[in-house]
Structure 1
């Protein structure tokens, strides 16, 4: 893999959230329409999901081409979107795609939890450059994030099983994104107490 390269942060943000925004906009436009493809009727949600898969793969490929690197989270997310989205399209069943956030959050929680059982913070491996912390700080943040991911997985199950597809799309687009943002904002105390000041000469 090529050496990591920096790109414009606004471009990176566009590649990260652009496909999600386009998915939401396309769903709002097509949610009440039915499409007949190959003699089979598909709801707008399924058609939008089918279009979302190559879009997220293209966005991920462009990001890798520009930066020379991808995080494990980006790779796993792209794989699960392809697999679960593909199953939804193949079986014409939206439930597979709705379960995708549950699987992602359970997987991340399980990996972090496994690290905690070994006395390690796997979160540190992927975020150390972004926010240098002492060992205890990483362990606290990892424990909290593990519980948070389990909570999001449970919440996604409650939403998609008990509410309409439209409610789930709003929850997925705005609710989960806001929840992750709020979580890290509220961890400022841990970062202040356990943060490591970088050497200016480094």
Structure 2
């Protein structure tokens, strides 16, 4: 048996740290960059963006080193972070990093709907090892998550266009995650109704 075949999934706590860690660093650097001498108060988002890009790449590298596999959604998000974070720094414009959540969530929503249209619920590929649902359950869950991603994209547009940069950063870190967890928990009744019972 190969070593890859015996690799275990990441422990839940480590997985959470790798997924949320870059966001937390993004928030902290944005909050304290001027006090640390990294920028002026009005330009804190730029060192925060640089740290966000680097931390995201490190988190993906650690994930791959441990399990020799990268989850689809963090990879897509990471690619967009690098592209839009790089544009933010190269062009000295906050616009691009603020657009990143809109682009990522729209991409996920569109991908899920296209998969449904083609008769292939992509969420089943992402979550198959977590849930075992019947086909109707996968279709309904996929559609709900697609709509939720569009809502997140719309919320991001509203917040960054109407609020201060600091408020947007706080929403990105402390708003989107709780909303996502609350939405995921709200899908429990659907999952229980359509769960495939395995023979014991």
TM-score, scaled to structure 2:
0.91
The residue that corresponds to 1:104 in the other structure is 104
Deviation of the 1:9 alpha carbon = 2.3
Partner-residue secondary structure (3-state), 1:35 = coil
Q: Counterparts of 1:5 and 1:96 in 2: how far apart (Å)?
A: 37
The residue that corresponds to 1:139 in the other structure is 139
Partner-residue secondary structure (3-state), 2:39 = strand
1:154-197 alpha-carbon deviations (Å, 9 max, x no partner): 11111111111011011100111111111110011111110012
Asked if 1 retains the 8 angstrom alpha-carbon contact of 2:29 and 2:47, the reply is no
Matches within 5 A, 1:12-161: 12-30=15-33, 35=39, 43-161=43-161
Asked if 2 retains the 8 angstrom alpha-carbon contact of 1:21 and 1:173, the reply is yes
Aligned length: 196
1:37-85 alpha-carbon deviations (Å, 9 max, x no partner): xxxxx81111111122111101110011111111111111111000000
Matching of residue 5 in structure 1 with residue 21 in structure 2? no
Asked if 1 retains the 8 angstrom alpha-carbon contact of 2:102 and 2:156, the reply is yes
Comparing 9-18 with 163-172, greater Cα deviation is found at 9-18
Stretches of structure 1 lacking an aligned partner (at least 5 in a row): 37-41
RMSD in angstroms over aligned alpha carbons?
Answer: 2.1
Stretches of structure 2 lacking an aligned partner (at least 5 in a row): none
Deviation of the 1:140 alpha carbon = 0.6
Asked if 2 retains the 8 angstrom alpha-carbon contact of 1:112 and 1:123, the reply is yes
Comparing 112-121 with 52-61, greater Cα deviation is found at 112-121
Q: Counterparts of 1:34 and 1:69 in 2: how far apart (Å)?
A: 35
The residue that corresponds to 1:39 in the other structure is none
Q: Counterparts of 2:101 and 2:113 in 1: how far apart (Å)?
A: 18
TM-score, scaled to structure 1:
0.90
Q: Counterparts of 1:68 and 1:198 in 2: how far apart (Å)?
A: 29
Q: Counterparts of 2:38 and 2:184 in 1: how far apart (Å)?
A: 40
Asked if 2 retains the 8 angstrom alpha-carbon contact of 1:34 and 1:43, the reply is no
